[in-house]
Structure 1
């Protein structure tokens, strides 16, 4: 199942505000930038991959893999945030289970995950 469009961050203005006002956490797979929104709003996530990762095919594959990694733990993400996930070079050929674990670890460090239970 795909992530609903209502939960995606798309506009340049939204990305810029998250980059400039938000807080970030990073590891070798990715960087996440998170900006708290007013209470009661759904969390929205955007994905980015810079040109230095490679040509469009490679960048799009990285974004698809990041999207799938986030989707796998989507129900645990706290509401009320805008998040941008930026792929890094290591994400290009990292095995998917490791990529998923690294992304989940970033969300945990940023305080965006609810406790399981």
Structure 2
């Protein structure tokens, strides 16, 4: 896997919806959706947590943990021209941080091996 030089943020709803139509992998702490944009632009990552998991404070805590785990994990595994959406799960709040990172690694490796 070729490491991406930079990882941009996904902010537009249409990008999240497009990624939702692509491949996904569910781990205990996170669901990762991956979309191949088929261009040479930098990889992009987006983060979301459903309202079903609690109030704003709870959702933001899960999202902050996801962003930090992604910041440490994604640069070594992402490929240019791809969008990644990380969806927080309820166990992402109490799950050990190293396990959350491993969930992301496992999901990305699985998604990229089935991408070929």
Residues 10-89 of structure 1 correspond to what in structure 2 (within 5 A)?
Answer: 10-20=11-21, 22-76=22-76, 77-89=78-90
Q: Runs of 4 or more off by more than 6 Å in structure 1?
A: none
- What SS does structure 1 have at the residue aligned with 2:112? coil
C-alpha offsets along residues 5-27 of structure 1, whole Å, 9 cap, x if unaligned?
9710011111111112x111111
Root-mean-square deviation (CA, aligned residues, Å) is 1.7
- Separation in 2 of the partners of 1:6 and 1:71? 9
Provide the C-alpha distance between the structure 2 equivalents of 1:69 and 1:60, rounded to a whole number of angstroms.
14
Which blocks of at least 5 consecutive residues in structure 1 are unaligned? 113-117
Question: TM-score of the superposition, structure 2-length normalised?
Answer: 0.85
Q: Which runs of 5+ in 2 are unaligned?
A: 1-5
Count of residues in Structure 1 that have an aligned counterpart in Structure 2 = 107
Deviation at 1:79, TM superposition (A): 1.2
